[in-house]
A and B are shown apart, each in its own frame.
Chain A
Amino acid sequence: MAQDVLLNGVRRRRGMLARPIPRSFLRSPLALASVVAVAAWLALAAAAPLIAPYGPLAQDIADRLAPPSPQHWFGTDPLGRDILSRVLYGAQLSIPVGLIAVALAVVLGTLIGSLAGVAGGLVDEAIMRLTDLMLAFPTVILAMIISAALGAGIRNAVIAIMVAWWPTYARFARGLVIGARDREYVEAARAVGASPLRVFVRHVLLNILSPIVILGTLDVGRAILTFASLSFLGLGPPPQIPEWGSEIAAGRDYLDQWWIATFPGLAILTLVVALNVVGDGLRDALDPRLRET
């Protein structure tokens, strides 16, 4: 009987893992379109060197500020560079940066939050008050402080997002750890003599990981958006590197040449909308605990 229940649990788990994207999710046309859009962006980013009509740095000064045409589908920028090519190459930067920034913040936040949850007492109190204070700084301001100290650049923009966001994950992880640490199976593991580290990693951490990862997935779009904002403000990569935010910034002084800012903006918009829809859908399907009303 007990074995039956156990097996049942295992079977259900396997079933869930075997179908990471549930069918009900794909039935919604918006969700389906979003999955396709995310996949398309990943493919475009990977294939950018093959499909981009020009190099990201190739200049054609004679053809600068050219409107969209068969030669340049998205027009050219003030330096005569092909905007379509730069948008495609931009995906190669924005997508990994968004993923890495969130991943770093999730790892750091989970470690610190778990520490607070496991240690309790003064350590917990100190960490929670620190997160309170950190959350009072808006991301962009914090990023500006970090960039002013360390200088602008991709690495420092990623550090800025990580420093600004870990408190959210830390608070979330702490709550989950506190909920999981007194469960019967954790106590059982302790009772059979497992070391505290093993109990924590195998029985607590592994069980709280899925909601944390889902929360992180939800934030990838927001991270891409934040990175673009920092680049727009000149706190991202140097100007020659194709990046959507800094390309939009280049269009700021050329309002009448609308194509300079419009296409990189549409790139961000389509990718982030799709990521947000997919993230919402995955959350609702995989972890109803996180569902919003």
Chain B
Amino acid sequence: MNLQAYVGRRLLVLPLMVLGITLLTFLLSHAVPSDPVAANLGDQAAADPAVVAAFKHRWGLDRPLPEQYVIYLANLVRGDMGISITTHQPVLTDLRQHLPATIELATAAMVLSLLAGIPLGIVSAVRRDSLVDQIGRGGSLLGVSMPVFWLGLVALFVFYARLGWAPSAGQLSPRLALPPFATGFVVIDALLAGQTRVALDALAHIALPACVLASSAVGIITRMMRGSMLEVLGEDYVRTARAKGLAPRRITLRHAARNALLPVITVVGLSFGGLLSGAVVTETVFAWPGLGSYAFLSATSLDFPAIMGVGIVVAVVYILVNLFVDITYAVIDPRIRMG
């Protein structure tokens, strides 16, 4: 199979996956033994028969289930995910406001964990059982065993309350105004608008939550890179390179590490899901105005349309990230396309 065919097939499956996600969320929202009227409208509105009737008609709650799904889908395609009970805004508007902050945080955390995890994995594999390896393994263990919200609080206490190195929680200092909206990513928007001071302030604010969020992904990536590197170091071509008398450093970086990176790429996509889960709790600790804070607010106030919207968006983002990762992988490694 050539590359175009592979990408084409994956893109063809994509709408089916998204359709599946909507069916799943639809069934979830209808299978649960809760009253959708009460769950969607809040007490005051649910007491008004006219409002209830209008709501039932709009979502087709008086029709059979398959028909309800079609109506749900039609509303969804028009971007109608309902009105949030807590913010009284269309859910889509809310999501559009909150999604960029989460993507920004998750991306920063992913970049950090790759920057730390890949070199650490290489060194751990080359100097197997050395002090660096031991520390790396201990660190990975701590990373996956530590509650991320607790680490966040400890980090805030140490670096903000005690040392004063980090700014307080939030995305930007209160005295600064958000830069004009372009991409939704505050750091990039500020740079585009030429507001260097705002960009630096935003960077200072994202540093601590991104490090906290990266804590578990670093461990996973270090372990993957180490394992993959150990495998590659045993390959014939590495032995050949050694036999040719190449410098060890060159063998490690050019012959081994480049090939060992391949399987790590897939982990990037898969751990993005964990990163999104982690982002939800991290955001609540750092008052980060992203999807996590929004989901937290809506889940605790039983705001069903809002939390369903978050679910759909997060699942679709996860699928898109993994599609992107798989295609990247196929571009780099032709063996994948054959499968």
- Chain A nearest Cβ from B314, distance in angstroms: 5
Q: Tell me whether A225 and B147 are in contact in the complex, defined as CB-CB below 8 angstroms, given that A133-B24, A262-B154, A265-B154 are known contacts.
A: yes
Contact check, A145 vs B311: say whether CB atoms are below 8 A apart.
yes
Contact check, B150 vs A293: say whether CB atoms are below 8 A apart.
no
Contacting A129 at CB < 8 Å: which of B20, B25, B144? B20
Q: Tell me whether A245 and B295 are in contact in the complex, defined as CB-CB below 8 angstroms, given that A145-B311, A234-B300, A252-B285 are known contacts.
A: no
A176 at the interface (CB under 8 A from B): no
CB neighbours of B107 from chain A (8 A): none
Q: Tell me whether A248 and B314 are in contact in the complex, defined as CB-CB below 8 angstroms, given that A148-B302, A148-B304, A151-B302 are known contacts.
A: no
Task: Name the segment of A48-56, A85-93, A268-276 touching the other chain.
Answer: A268-276
Bound form: Cα–Cα A264–B161 in Å? 20
A39 at the interface (CB under 8 A from B): no
Q: Tell me whether A136 and B315 are in contact in the complex, defined as CB-CB below 8 angstroms, given that A232-B147, A273-B145 are known contacts.
A: yes
Closest to B161 in A: A255
Q: Tell me whether A261 and B153 are in contact in the complex, defined as CB-CB below 8 angstroms, given that A132-B17, A133-B17, A256-B161 are known contacts.
A: yes
Q: Which chain B residues numbered 248 to 301 have a C-beta less than 8 Å away from chain A?
A: 273-274, 276-277, 280-281, 284-285, 295-296, 298-300
B72 at the interface (CB under 8 A from A): no
Contact check, A136 vs B21: say whether CB atoms are below 8 A apart.
yes
Contact check, A144 vs B32: say whether CB atoms are below 8 A apart.
no
How many residues in A have their beta carbons less than 8 Å from beta carbons of B? Answer: 51
Q: Which chain A residues numbered 119 to 138 have a C-beta less than 8 Å away from chain B?
A: 129-130, 132-138
Q: Which chain B residues numbered 301 to 323 have a C-beta less than 8 Å away from chain A?
A: 302-304, 307-308, 310-311, 314-316, 318-319
Contact check, B34 vs A149: say whether CB atoms are below 8 A apart.
yes
Contacts across chains A and B counted by CB atoms under 8 Å: 153
How many residues of B sit at the interface, in one of the four size bands?
35 or more
Write out, one digit per residue, whether chain B residues 124-135 have a CB within 8 A of any chain A CB (1) or not (0).
000000000000
CB neighbours of B295 from chain A (8 A): 141, 144
A142 at the interface (CB under 8 A from B): yes
Closest to A261 in B: B153
CB neighbours of B29 from chain A (8 A): 149
CB neighbours of A255 from chain B (8 A): 153, 156-157, 160-161
Contact check, A233 vs B281: say whether CB atoms are below 8 A apart.
yes
Write out, one digit per residue, whether chain B residues 211-224 have a CB within 8 A of any chain A CB (1) or not (0).
00000000000010
Classify the interface of chain B: helix, strand, loop or mixed. Answer: helix
CB neighbours of A235 from chain B (8 A): 299-300
Contacting B319 at CB < 8 Å: which of A136, A138, A262, A268? A136
Closest to B298 in A: A148
B47 at the interface (CB under 8 A from A): no
Contacting A149 at CB < 8 Å: which of B24, B32, B318? B32
Contact check, A140 vs B145: say whether CB atoms are below 8 A apart.
no
Bound form: Cα–Cα A144–B307 in Å? 7
Contacting B276 at CB < 8 Å: which of A133, A138, A249? A138
Bound form: Cα–Cα A138–B316 in Å? 11
CB neighbours of A136 from chain B (8 A): 17, 21, 273, 315-316, 318-319
Bound form: Cα–Cα A102–B193 in Å? 50
Contact check, A233 vs B285: say whether CB atoms are below 8 A apart.
no
Contact check, A293 vs B227: say whether CB atoms are below 8 A apart.
yes
Interface on A for B, CB 8 Å cutoff?
Answer: 129-130, 132-142, 144-152, 221-222, 225, 228-229, 232-235, 245, 248-249, 251-252, 255-256, 258, 261-262, 264-265, 268-269, 272-273, 276-277, 292-293
- 29 residue pairs A–B, Cβ–Cβ below 8 Å: A129-B20, A130-B24, A133-B21, A133-B24, A133-B315, A136-B21, A136-B318, A136-B319, A137-B315, A138-B276, A139-B277, A141-B314, A144-B310, A146-B32, A147-B299, A148-B307, A149-B39, A151-B302, A228-B147, A232-B147, A233-B299, A235-B300, A248-B147, A248-B149, A255-B157, A261-B157, A269-B142, A269-B146, A276-B144
